[in-house]
């Protein structure tokens, strides 16, 4: 059976998620702001949860329709095929409702009406007035955008950015999904050195190591859909077996994470160990101003302080000026940093080759991209003429 799926992402990163979905062999249906629609059979649900690095969820689309009144919302929701997707004892509930530029704008009322409509729909199929909800959880999500309603079942459960490794975090961590998306926007490959001079709890280095070693982001976690009737248990096992078969544990990488705070460096090391990538990363306490390397053609990918508080913002001109000086000492390197600080380019001292707007939650940020030259191609042994 074919299912319609959708996955949300950070605004501005739809192209990255679209490429990821296509790369694992799934059919793209359409792309909207902050979400990608695609389709596939039950294996698509398991593989999307296992392999997608840049989305928060894999949602099974139950239906889409127009609704300008609560009566329309109720009747259209009731008409959907809930009993084909949920057993009689399913613990179904509307976990979240969101409304944007729509006549129906109260999340609590939307949740209540949709929940009531699902009950009425299930009553008709199962010929009962009471549902015990003693079975597995089926979280339902509702989004209304310009009166267009999207109703879906969450097959992921806990957000997919929670890979299971980040137990300890810095004060302002970047999410795993956003870090992975930024890395995937760059030309970085596992054979190139990567440095994060503001590594915090280690998210950029850890995500880079997972990408470089081909370790699936869902490798060490569970999903709500593992208990859902529309995906057999063997399908989830097959997805995990596929993930294990694709790992490249013998790969050699040079990934460095530095931070001025010794305690957060310890936390980063622990997080990397939990992720199973501690062997690929060197973490060290170091001030960003001390950044140096003998390597050429490397990458800096980092999330420097934004200065959300006034006393922190006052220090940002000096910080970004120091960043420009430190990064400039790295010959032929490329730099990528994400920040909401609007004067970043001014004090960094160099105009970015590309400036990409990305929403990090509700914060409007910019990814500044500086591209160094490509390294010379290595000659293959077949082309080397012996003396």
31-83: pLDDT as tens digits: 999 999 999 999 999 999 999 999 999 999 999 999 999 999 999 999 999 99
Q: Are residues 197 and 126 in the same domain?
A: no
Mean pLDDT of the chain: 94
Q: Are residues 104 and 203 in the same domain?
A: no
Domain ranges, residue 323: 176-216+250-370
Q: Are residues 85 and 130 in the same domain?
A: yes
Q: Is residue 171 part of a domain?
A: no
CATH code: domain of residue 8: 3.30.2130.30
Q: Are 344 and 323 contacting, i.e. CB atoms less than 8 angstroms apart?
A: no
Q: Is residue 379 part of a domain?
A: no
Q: Rounded distance, CA 28 to CA 18, Å?
A: 7
Tens of pLDDT, residues 90-127: 999 999 999 999 999 999 999 999 999 999 999 989 99
Q: Are residues 148 and 180 in the same domain?
A: no
Q: Are residues 17 and 97 in the same domain?
A: yes
CATH code: domain of residue 202: 3.40.50.150
Percent of the chain with pLDDT over 90: 89
At 54, phi and psi to the nearest 5?
Answer: -115, 10
Q: Are residues 208 and 314 in the same domain?
A: yes
Q: How confident is the model at residue 387 (pLDDT cuts 50, 70, 90)?
A: very low
Six-digit token string for 379 = 């000659």
Q: Are 61 and 5 contacting, i.e. CB atoms less than 8 angstroms apart?
A: yes
- pLDDT value of position 360: 83
Q: Are residues 344 and 209 in the same domain?
A: yes
Q: Are residues 288 and 195 in the same domain?
A: yes
> Among 142-156, 282-296, 301-315, which is the least confidently predicted range?
301-315
Q: Is residue 232 part of a domain?
A: no
How many domains does the chain divide into? 2
The answer, yes or no, to whether residue 316 has pLDDT greater than 70, is yes
Global pTM value: 0.93
The answer, yes or no, to whether residue 328 has pLDDT greater than 80, is yes
């Amino acid at each position: 059976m074919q299912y319609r799926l959708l996955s949300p992402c950070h605004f501005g990163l739809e192209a990255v998620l679209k490429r990821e979905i296509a790369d694992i062999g799934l059919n793209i249906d359409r792309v909207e702001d902050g979400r990608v629609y695609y389709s596939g059979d039950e294996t698509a649900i398991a593989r999307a949860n296992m392999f997608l690095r840049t989305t928060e969820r894999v949602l099974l689309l139950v239906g889409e329709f127009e609704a300008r009144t609560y009566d329309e919302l109720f009747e259209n929701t009731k008409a959907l095929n809930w009993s084909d997707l949920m057993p009689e004892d399913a613990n179904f509930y509307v976990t979240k409702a969101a409304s944007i530029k729509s006549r129906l704008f109260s999340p609590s009322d939307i949740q209540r009406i949709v929940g009531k409509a699902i009950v009425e729909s299930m009553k008709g199929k199962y010929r009962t007035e009471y549902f015990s909800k003693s079975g597995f959880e089926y979280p339902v999500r509702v989004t209304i955008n310009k009166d267009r309603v999207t109703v879906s079942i969450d097959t992921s459960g806990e957000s997919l950015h929670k890979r299971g490794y980040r137990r300890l975090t810095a004060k302002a961590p970047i999410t795993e999904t956003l870090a992975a998306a930024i890395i995937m926007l760059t030309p970085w490959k596992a054979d190139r050195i990567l440095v994060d001079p503001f590594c915090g709890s280690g998210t950029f280095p850890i995500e880079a190591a997972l990408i470089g070693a081909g370790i699936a982001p869902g490798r060490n976690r569970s999903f709500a859909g593992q208990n859902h009737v529309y995906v057999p248990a063997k399908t989830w096992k097959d997805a995990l077996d596929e993930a294990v078969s694709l790992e490249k544990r013998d790969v050699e990488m040079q990934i460095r994470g530095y931070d001025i705070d010794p305690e957060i460096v310890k936390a980063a090391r622990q997080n990397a160990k939990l992720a199973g990538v501690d062997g690929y990363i060197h973490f060290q306490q170091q001030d960003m101003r001390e950044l140096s390397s003998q390597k050429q053609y490397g990458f800096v990918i980092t999330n420097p302080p934004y200065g959300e508080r006034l006393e922190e913002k006052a220090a940002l001109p000096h910080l970004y000026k120091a960043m420009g000086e430190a990064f400039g000492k790295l010959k032929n390197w490329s730099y990528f940093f994400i920040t909401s600080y609007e004067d970043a380019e001014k004090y960094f001292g160099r105009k970015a080759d590309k400036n990409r707007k990305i929403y990090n939650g509700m914060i409007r940020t910019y990814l500044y991209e500086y591209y160094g030259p490509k390294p010379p191609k290595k000659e293959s042994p077949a082309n080397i003429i012996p003396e």
